[in-house]
Amino acid sequence: MSVLGTGGVIIQGITGREARMVAEHSVTYGTPLVAGVTPGKEGESVAGVPVFNSVTDAMGGIETEIDTSLISVPPFAVLAAGREALRAGIRRLVVATEGVPRHDMVKLLAEARAQDVAVIGPNSVGAITPSTCRKIGAIGGDRPERAFVPGHVGIISRSGGMTAEIGLTLRRAGLGVSTAISVGGDDLIGLPPEKAALLLQSDPCTHIICLFGEPGTPFEEELAQAMLAGHVTVPVVALIAGAFTETLPEGTAFGHAAAIIAGSSGRPSIKRRVLADAGGHVVDTLDELAGIVTALLKDGYTHAGD
């Protein structure tokens, strides 16, 4: 199956500066970006892609079936844009916007769950499947092949930059990626690591998962529980950043909005321990990560569906 779908892709907010750049890079890479949406801009084009006033207009004006929308609009407009996509029947939303009001995101995620629509983000650089040249978002920039080549390693990362760093590390080790997902750096996201792992595991091309975690949130602990329960069975190699944060005052934010330690919650040492106890391979460096993944693959591990 395809983790990121197979239909056409649209960008809501395509005439914005960053979205224009993403559109150009996506088209060059080969992603089936078939339309853009910006109210009042219908008739224009970006990177050869037609712009429509609404998602409904785009779906009616394009023959290709559309299954994914990249939302790249100001924070205050994300809820309205997401609802518009849901009403139009879009099955997958990738929210690039950072700083979305929490109450808006709560509403959007609840409405998406009620319709069984997948949401990646907010505050996500997107996701990529190199084997099909499907790139949703800014991930990989203008030359995704520098970091992402086809292979059997799934990547889940709370950091957009580290998504690419892991991909580059794997490529240099002679390995490749099935699908890489930047789940987003906020504490309220649509596809936390546990759900992302289950999604990647459903793809026979994913033999191993590499996880990059950060301080804050119970996301990594929830993944460990899913591993212990036997729900996540693909081997997990985890790099958890931020050990130094445990020496700083409680409640200090470290970069991403969700990277806050409160009491015992969100401590990197706890995340490392529970993942190891659940059978995960916890590493300290990118080089160690590449070595463990290489060894696991040489040991002959393949997905149960192969």
Active-site annotation, residues: 256
Of 108, 39, 120, the C-alpha closest to 79 is: 108
CB neighbourhood size of 292 (10 A): 18
DSSP3 helix / strand / coil % (the chain, rounded to 5):
35, 20, 40
Tell me the torsion sign for CA atoms 14, 18, 22, 24. positive
Contacts of 126 by beta carbon, 8 Å cutoff, 6+ apart: 70, 94, 96, 120, 135, 136, 137, 138, 139, 182
Tokens of residue 253, six digits: 């934010």
For 26, phi then psi, to 5°, come to -65, -45
Residue 298 CB contacts under 8 Å (≥ 6 apart), including other chains: none
The phi, psi pair for 171, rounded to 5°, reads -60, -45
